[in-house]
């Protein structure tokens, strides 16, 4: 079977990948699993949080994206990301200026998050068509939560808006198809790249003590992220599509390109499972940090359901294909 673009389908991942984990160690408290953003390793009373991510679907500002996506995953544990390793693969024919450009982007992003780059690898790779950057972020903490800690009845909350990362990528990649959108809106969309970090969102949420789980909705967007949290925790959910917050820039671009923002790669938004009596506390804490929070549904039961704007209820798809990959195939 030929695999589709994007993440490997969950059933194939479980059957062909997750069973191969090398030599077992009792120090690994959280290992590879569907729906989890990071690994946890015991360090004599503290915990090492580790997460790796590639950036393959974007070329401009790739170093900035790469640092933030891995840092975001570590942040969903409640820990602040502190260290970074990067692997930079360059196409044949690349020159020194490209190497420096990517390195400077990584440097700037790491400094903005107070992270140190501690190592990695850089090479020119044969038959590669575009730059690929893979980063691994590390954090050290006294306590953590995972997406699998979601509890029955938890409220689903999202920060900021859907498709932040995807909107910025679409504005760069498909600008020739966005000529009917005014320049201010397009520029605002491009600038959304500066909003893809959820490190502060996660710190604010974790500090309340009212959040059981957090998840960074990357590929597959808000819908994919909620589904992954449900899988990790063994729960169902009911998600209200009309409650998902969407920025004006995202709405304009998605409407033009016929894209569903709830299925668009969503770094910059953070999903949280909040205990019901803590919702107001959480929203107030986010407001103190000038971060918008929106309630979009509830976890519970076994059925995974989506409530459409007209009130109809549909079963959620087990594998959300990101709208970015769908567009790239057209």
Q: Which residues in the chain show pLDDT less than 50?
A: none
Q: What is the dihedral of CA 11, 67, 175, 217, to 10 degrees?
A: 40
Tell me, what's the pLDDT at 60?
A: 84
Tell me, what's the pLDDT at 317?
A: 84
Kindly list the domain boundaries of the chain, sorted by start residue.
21-141, 147-329
- The CATH architecture of the domain made up of 21-141 is 2-Layer Sandwich (3.30)
User: Would you say the C-alpha torsion 267, 261, 296, 280 has a positive or negative sign?
Assistant: positive
Residue 212 phi, psi dihedral angles, 5° rounding: -85, -30
Q: How far apart are CA 67 and CA 70, in angstroms?
A: 6
- pTM equals 0.93
Tell me, what's the pLDDT at 33?
A: 87
CATH topology match: 21-141 vs 147-329? no
Query: Considering only the top CATH level, what class is 147-329?
Result: alpha beta
Q: What is the largest CA-CA distance in the chain?
A: 58
Tell me, what's the pLDDT at 296?
A: 98
Query: Three-state DSSP class for 92?
Result: coil
Tell me, what's the pLDDT at 330?
A: 58
Instruction: Report yes or no: 80 and 139 within 8 Å, Cβ to Cβ.
Output: yes
């Amino acid at each position: 079977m030929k695999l589709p673009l994007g993440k490997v389908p969950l059933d194939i991942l479980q059957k062909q990948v997750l069973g191969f984990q090398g030599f077992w160690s009792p120090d690994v408290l959280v290992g590879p699993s569907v729906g989890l953003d990071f690994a946890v390793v015991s360090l004599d009373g503290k915990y090492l949080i580790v997460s790796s991510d590639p950036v393959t679907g974007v070329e401009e500002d790739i170093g900035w994206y790469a640092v933030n996506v891995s840092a975001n995953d570590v942040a969903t544990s409640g820990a602040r990301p502190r260290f970074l390793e990067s692997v930079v693969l360059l196409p044949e024919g690349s020159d020194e200026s490209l190497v420096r450009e990517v390195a400077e982007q990584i440097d700037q992003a790491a400094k903005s998050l107070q992270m140190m780059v501690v190592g990695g690898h850089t090479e020119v790779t044969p038959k590669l068509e575009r730059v690929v950057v893979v980063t691994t972020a590390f954090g050290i903490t006294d306590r953590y939560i995972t997406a699998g800690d979601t509890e029955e009845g938890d409220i689903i909350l999202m920060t900021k808006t859907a498709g932040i990362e995807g909107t910025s990528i679409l504005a760069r990649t498909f600008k020739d198809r966005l000529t009917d959108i005014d320049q201010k809106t397009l520029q605002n969309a491009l600038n959304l790249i500066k909003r893809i970090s959820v490190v502060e969102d996660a710190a604010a949420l974790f500090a309340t003590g009212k959040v059981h789980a957090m998840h960074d909705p990357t590929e597959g967007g808000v819908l994919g992220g909620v589904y992954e949290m449900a899988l990790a925790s063994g729960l169902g959910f009911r998600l209200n599509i009309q409650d998902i917050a969407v920025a004006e820039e995202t709405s304009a671009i998605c409407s033009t390109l016929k894209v569903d923002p709830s299925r668009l790669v969503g770094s910059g938004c953070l999903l949280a499972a909040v205990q019901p009596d803590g919702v107001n506390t959480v929203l107030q804490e986010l407001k103190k940090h000038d971060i918008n929070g929106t309630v979009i549904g509830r976890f519970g039961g076994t059925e995974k359901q989506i409530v459409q704007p007209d009130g109809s209820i549909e079963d959620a798809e087990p594998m959300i294909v990101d709208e970015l990959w769908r567009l790239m195939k057209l």
